Structure 1
Amino acid sequence: MKTLFASVAATALFIGGAGMAAHADHHMESHDKHEKKDIVDTAASNEDFSTLVAAVKAAGLIDALKAEGPYTVFAPTNAAFDALPEGTLDTLLMEENVGQLQAILKLHVVSGKIKSKDIADGTTEVETLAGDTIEVTKSADGVTAGGADVVKADIYTSNGVIHVIDSVILPQ
């Protein structure tokens, strides 16, 4: 199933790339590159992600998420971070806990651009940048990633896609 999911994502990337090339024929390429912000800048421009952006900065992951990618990010909102047990976020943001913070944030990032339409019905395990897998489940009730509900899907960026989730994915 994991291989099938990766194949679907790779096919979508190939088809999406062809569509982008056709689009570039009709518009100046430099114009297209300025239309979309990267993952970090997109998140930074949305107040609902201010805690996530602060955590990414504290973890030293800004450059990684500004890289070419593409990446799929399951982005917890400020409310998702607020729902963590009291003191958890403050502890994670301490300099001596940067490794733990990085590991948690990397659980939210998958290599490749996975659009909501590419997610197969049922449960699929996807490998995160942390090297662990999370389950992505699509059902009649919606989509979950790592147990968190996807509350908004398909925010496209220049280097991937963001899916907004309602809780922070934690290591098992």
Structure 2
Amino acid sequence: MNKRLWLLAMAGVTAWTLSGCAAMSAQPSIADTLASTPELSTLAQLVRQAGMTDALNGEGPFTVFAPSNEAFKAVPAKTMETLGKDPARLKAVLSFHVVPSRLPAAAITNGKLTSLDGSPLTTSRAGEFVTIEDALVTRADIAARNGVVHLVDRVLIPPKR
């Protein structure tokens, strides 16, 4: 047995644990998941523009309520233009879609969550239907190494502070 494996064995790390870690790290990050999901290409571009890629590649865990490309098409062009010129405001809007914990859809109930920017988010559940603020989760539980992504049908706008 080589020294590294011996040290791991002494620390109680087994081959099963190591294979579980390898499988977990083989999963893409949230940022990579957004970039590789065709219906989230607009969000992936905006995450890069806002300088949030490193954060969403980070340890997490995060839950991202990810507006689809169709959701962004519904936002007035002037609003999108304004966000494109104001990286701080864009980051605030995108941070409003992120919760700093892993929250599978089955765990979402009627209540409140706190977004990454500290704002409250209202969640509702009616049978299989889950909403966050006024956005419907249209595709749930896209797993990532550092969290979970739920596609939503609307862009959430944070409250003004």
**TM-score normalised according to structure 2 size:** 0.84
Q: What SS does the aligned partner of 1:87 have?
A: helix
Offset from partner CA, 1:137-167 (integer Å, 9 cap, x none): 1113610012100001100100000010000
Q: Which runs of 4+ in 1 moved over 3 A?
A: none
In the TM superposition, residue 73 of structure 1 has moved relative to its aligned partner by 0.3
Taking the TM superposition and a 5 Å limit, the aligned residue runs for 1:73-152 are 73-94=64-85, 97-120=86-109, 123-140=110-127, 142-152=129-139
Taking the TM superposition and a 5 Å limit, the aligned residue runs for 1:58-77 are 58-77=49-68
Gaps of 5+ in 1: 1-23
Indicate the RMSD between aligned Cα atoms, in angstroms: 1.7
From the CA coordinates, give the structure whose radius of gyration is larger: 2
Gaps of 5+ in 2: 1-14
Offset from partner CA, 1:18-39 (integer Å, 9 cap, x none): xxxxxx7177256414531000
- C-alpha spacing 1:62/1:26, structure 2 compared with 1 (3 Å): closer
**TM-score normalised according to structure 1 size:** 0.79
Counterpart in the other structure of 1:56: 47
Percent sequence identity is 37
In the TM superposition, residue 118 of structure 1 has moved relative to its aligned partner by 1.2
Offset from partner CA, 1:67-108 (integer Å, 9 cap, x none): 1000000000111011001222122112xx111111100110
What is the aligned residue count?
Answer: 145
